A and B are shown apart, each in its own frame.
Chain A
Amino acid sequence: EDQVTQSPEALRLQEGESSSLNCSYTVSGLRGLFWYRQDPGKGPEFLFTLYSAGEEKEKERLKATLTKKESFLHITAPKPEDSATYLCAVHIQGAQKLVFGQGTRLTINP
């Protein structure tokens, strides 16, 4: 069965303390992996799309990487405004939908 699992469920960091969020997937075929950010009371906001193993994308303090089994969202020197829930989603080959993980709730303390 196709599955997307994110870890940890919640992560609390001090401002400036770098870390990584994980999204592991077991799917029949990957067409693309998406990262979204969701603030409380708002809809998910698109961050990155990765299509093939070895691909990397960067935006400000965030960098997303992709292997054949997982994706990492690296956050470097985070700030309190980076606090949010980060969702990953996969587009599975042959399926006309995105399958989401359960998210990682990230809190950055000043």
Chain B
Amino acid sequence: DTAVSQTPKYLVTQMGNDKSIKCEQNLGHDTMYWYKQDSKKFLKIMFSYNNKELIINETVPNRFSPKSPDKAHLNLHINSLELGDSAVYFCASSQVLVGSRVHFGPGTRLTVT
């Protein structure tokens, strides 16, 4: 199936740890994103990459570092995790930068204890 996939689905970790979330899309899209959805279901963009180039960094703490090894992958590494980082993180992709339909992955629920 063509889709946006991300792993892991669930991530439970302690404060101060470093963790990564991996994302892959096989839709042939040029643009990939990371979104954060808080407990109130508010979905907010964190980063967008177009052809492996960072386009948007939406005032996200430096502890969050996206890495795009190629157009099909956009991973998210988080250092020194804090309680407030607990949320659902969605990877997404679109054919062009905004303006076209955005396809979302299934999400990674991160719980920091």
A-facing mask of B27-46, CB < 8 A → 1, else 0? 00000000000001111110
B67 contacts across to A, CB distance below 8 A: none
Cα–Cα distance between A11 and B58 once the two chains are bound (Å): 32
Number of chain B residues whose Cβ lies closer than 8 Å to a Cβ of chain A: 23
In the complex the two chains form, is B43's CB within 8 Å of A31's CB?
no
Taking A43-B107, A44-B43 as contacts, is the C-beta distance between A31 and B102 under 8 angstroms? no
In the complex the two chains form, is A100's CB within 8 Å of B99's CB?
no
* Residues 89-113 of B contacting A (Cβ, < 8 Å): 90, 92, 97-99, 101-107
Taking A41-B107, A103-B41 as contacts, is the C-beta distance between A46 and B101 under 8 angstroms? yes
B55 contacts across to A, CB distance below 8 A: 96
A63 contacts across to B, CB distance below 8 A: none
Assess whether B83 is interfacial by the CB under 8 Å rule. no
In the complex the two chains form, is A46's CB within 8 Å of B56's CB?
no
Assess whether A85 is interfacial by the CB under 8 Å rule. yes
B-facing mask of A76-110, CB < 8 A → 1, else 0? 00000000010101010001111010110100000
Taking A97-B48, A97-B58, A100-B43 as contacts, is the C-beta distance between A91 and B98 under 8 angstroms? yes
Number of chain A residues whose Cβ lies closer than 8 Å to a Cβ of chain B: 24
B43 contacts across to A, CB distance below 8 A: 44, 87, 89, 100, 103
Cα–Cα distance between A64 and B108 once the two chains are bound (Å): 30
Cα–Cα distance between A54 and B56 once the two chains are bound (Å): 31
* Residues 17-68 of A contacting B (Cβ, < 8 Å): 31-32, 34, 36, 38, 41-46, 49
A46 contacts across to B, CB distance below 8 A: 101-103
18 additional A-B pairs beyond A38-B41, A102-B41, beta carbons within 8 Å, are: A31-B98, A32-B99, A34-B102, A36-B104, A41-B107, A42-B106, A43-B90, A43-B104, A43-B105, A49-B101, A87-B43, A97-B45, A97-B58, A98-B45, A98-B98, A98-B102, A102-B42, A105-B41
